[in-house]
Amino acid sequence: MIEVLYFAWVRERIGLPRERVQTTAATVADLVAELSAREERYALAFADLASLRVALDQELSSFDAPLAGVREVAFFPPMTGG
Amino acid sequence: MQVRVQSAAFDLGTESASFVASAAGAGAVVTFTGLVRDNGGRLAAMEIEHYPGMTEKAIAAIAEQAMARWSLADALVIHRHGRLAVGEPIMMVATAAPHRADAFAAAEFLMDYLKSRAPFWKKEIGADGVDWVAAKDEDEAALKRW
Is B86 near chain A, with CB under 8 Å?
Answer: no
- Residues sharing a CB contact under 8 Å with residue A82, sequence separation 6 or more, in sequence order: B34, B90, B91, B111, B114, B115, B118, B120
pLDDT (tens digit per residue) in B101-143? 999 999 999 999 999 999 999 999 998 899 999 999 999 999 9
Q: Average pLDDT, whole number, for chain B?
A: 95
CA distances from B29 to A16, B20, B26, B97 (A): 43, 7, 8, 7
What is the ipTM score, two decimals? 0.95
pLDDT score at B100: 97
Is B34–A80 a contact, with Cβ atoms under 8 angstroms apart?
no
Instruction: Looking at the complex, report in whole angstroms how far the Cα of residue B24 sits from the nearest Cα belonging to chain A.
Output: 27
Is B118–A76 a contact, with Cβ atoms under 8 angstroms apart?
no
Beta-ladder partners of A6: A75
Is B133–A80 a contact, with Cβ atoms under 8 angstroms apart?
yes
pLDDT (tens digit per residue) in B68-107? 999 999 999 999 999 999 999 999 999 999 999 999 999 9
Q: Which of residues 7-66 of A touch B (CB under 8 A)?
A: 7-9, 11, 55, 58-60
- DSSP 8-state secondary structure symbol assigned to residue B136: P
Q: Report the number of secondary-structure helices (H) and strands (E) in chain A.
A: 3, 5
Asked if the model's pLDDT at residue B40 lies above 90, the reply is no
Write down all domains in chain B, each with its CATH number in brackets. Answer: 2-145 (3.90.1170.40)
Sign, CA dihedral A18-B48-B11-B136, equals positive
Best residue of B32, B48, B54 to probe chain A, by most A CBs closer than 10 Å = B54
Instruction: Looking at the complex, report in whole angstroms how far the Cα of residue A8 sits from the nearest Cα belonging to chain B.
Output: 6
CA distances from B120 to A7, A52, B91 (A): 9, 14, 12
Cβ pairs A/B, distance under 8 A: 69
Write down all domains in chain A, each with its CATH number in brackets. Answer: 2-76 (3.10.20.30)
Looking at chain A, which residue has its C-alpha nearest residue B133?
A80
Asked if the model's pLDDT at residue B65 lies above 90, the reply is yes
pLDDT (tens digit per residue) in A51-78? 999 999 999 999 999 999 999 999 999 9
Whether the Cβ atoms of residue B7 and residue B82 lie closer than 8 Å to each other: yes
Is B32 near chain A, with CB under 8 Å?
Answer: no
Residue B39's pLDDT band (cuts 50, 70, 90): confident
pLDDT (tens digit per residue) in A11-41? 999 999 999 999 999 999 999 999 999 999 9
